Structure 1
């Protein structure tokens, strides 16, 4: 047996203790960087996330920081380039992230409502009552990368025999659902497509008059939003995150506040296969190569 000199043994022990201490401090200072597609105003996204961020900090034992992004593409690039750890994606942005990362992005959970999500088409024009009435009209989508504000509305328009790019007078992209409603309400466009959840929230908050701006078409249901992470996330952390979301309960005051802000009944597990139809729709519409 080889014995180290006493002073050398103490030095080795000291280095080991220092390494352990540093590792512990690194773990204590670890931050979960979270973001969301900017489908609403930045102030609204921050307001919705704050209670959820506090809850996740309690459940994970680590700092959780919300990092807003400028556009949908930035949320995708942020996650796959390791600048973000978890992102609230729409179905289409998840599909884009999965494709860009070579399948290395995983959806963890979705709201129960996202299993049958819908878009609504709204207008102030009394002559518009069905999709084919949009021929020759001006129209607004949300963001180009939005599932409920662009991809699926475009998909259902094409299925109805309406090509927005050739059959409409002008097509605009507002960048966000509430901005689309404002464009329709303000007369900037004849009609627009909006996330049904945002529409219902605006009506409930009296931010839009449904007698003036009315829904004239509601799409069939499709899978939409989810919370996604990279597949290389520590499995233990991934499991803790999943359990934290699944544990949210409306019978608990904290859970009710979070779920109400997220416009969710509850969160349920999800999987990549749920978004195959979104991917197919994106390819058919020429939005995913």
Structure 2
């Protein structure tokens, strides 16, 4: 029979060993067997979003040591809600979607990086009707936006139309929401809308890939620049992991052959740090357009 004092000594030694073990077990190490859940606003076809993310997901796995899972969502609102309810850890958001996420999470959602291009983003107004050459020519016509929550496919184009004295709700014959930028071009090309608007990046990609006949569907106006897309994390994500993710994006270099495919698919020359204040103008535009109370 063991002596009670010996049992106490053994328990004390075990407690000390466990304490020492946990002391060296950092939050990042604790997350090693977990999954980084990532999503993006569905501003393009789901298959295209998956294709664009695959190389970036593999890169983030190497940089963080975590398994990265891309979680498709049905609409823009689902990304916001999933961040707020901790079903997502990292999300690719548009400027307006970020503002919605900030409000939904009581200001805790953190934008960590954006493409350099996103500091001067623009939208393209397109039409296949040769008679449409300006905003004034849109009056009495049918028009297609992207998603109602899209910054570049709805909010900012609506804001600039209103600045030019054109009210979509009052002046257009009909307003449709295609749901995505590439779908807007398809609407216009098929004659389902006399004109539409989409972000400049998707337009350029569709032209490069010859997925749109630029002789038929043409750009007739471009918005002034504004802040748009960013990568946002939920506010209570481990700060060490947030730091790793931020550094991983900032290290991406289009001149590095190992990063070239990622940057090409992300249509980025480089990633730069961003902050909530960059999107104050988006929030103000949303309120002016009546899309936020």
- The TM-score normalised by the length of structure 1 is 0.94
**Residue aligning to 1:260:** 264
From 109, 127, 134, the counterpart of 2:113: 109
SS of residue matched to 1:125: coil
**Residue aligning to 1:29:** 33
TM-fit CA distance, 1:10 = 3.6
**Residue aligning to 2:149:** 145
Q: 1:31 to 1:16 in 2, by over 3 A?
A: farther
SS of residue matched to 2:184: helix
SS of residue matched to 2:176: strand
TM-fit CA distance, 1:18 = 7.4
TM-fit CA distance, 1:166 = 1.1
Deviations 1:142-169 (A, max 9, x none): 0000000000010011111111011100
TM-fit CA distance, 1:27 = 2.9
- The TM-score normalised by the length of structure 2 is 0.93
Deviations 1:161-220 (A, max 9, x none): 111011100000000000000000011110000110000000000000111000000001
Q: Is the 2:144–2:197 contact (alpha carbons within 8 Å) kept by the matching residues of 1?
A: yes
1:158 aligns with 2:173: no
1:235 aligns with 2:206: no
**Residue aligning to 1:6:** 6
Give the aligned length: 286
TM-fit CA distance, 1:17 = 6.4
**Residue aligning to 2:255:** 251
Name which of structure 1's ranges 96-105 and 106-115 shifts more when overlaid on structure 2. 96-105
**Residue aligning to 1:43:** 47
From 124, 127, 135, the counterpart of 1:123: 127
Q: Is the 2:143–2:176 contact (alpha carbons within 8 Å) kept by the matching residues of 1?
A: yes
CA distance in 2 between counterparts of 1:47 and 1:111 reads: 18
TM-fit CA distance, 1:100 = 1.2
TM-fit CA distance, 1:11 = 4.8
CA distance in 1 between counterparts of 2:179 and 2:17 reads: 52
Q: 1:227 to 1:4 in 2, by over 3 A?
A: farther
**Residue aligning to 1:86:** 90
Name stretches of at least 5 consecutive residues in structure 1 with no aligned partner: none
CA distance in 2 between counterparts of 1:252 and 1:68 reads: 29
TM-fit CA distance, 1:7 = 3.2
Q: 1:201 to 1:165 in 2, by over 3 A?
A: same
Name which of structure 1's ranges 235-244 and 143-152 shifts more when overlaid on structure 2. 235-244
From 207, 214, 221, the counterpart of 1:210: 214
TM-fit CA distance, 1:94 = 0.3
**Residue aligning to 1:190:** 194
CA distance in 1 between counterparts of 2:9 and 2:209 reads: 69
SS of residue matched to 2:291: coil
CA distance in 1 between counterparts of 2:134 and 2:42 reads: 29
CA distance in 2 between counterparts of 1:80 and 1:145 reads: 16
Q: Is the 2:88–2:234 contact (alpha carbons within 8 Å) kept by the matching residues of 1?
A: no
SS of residue matched to 1:5: helix
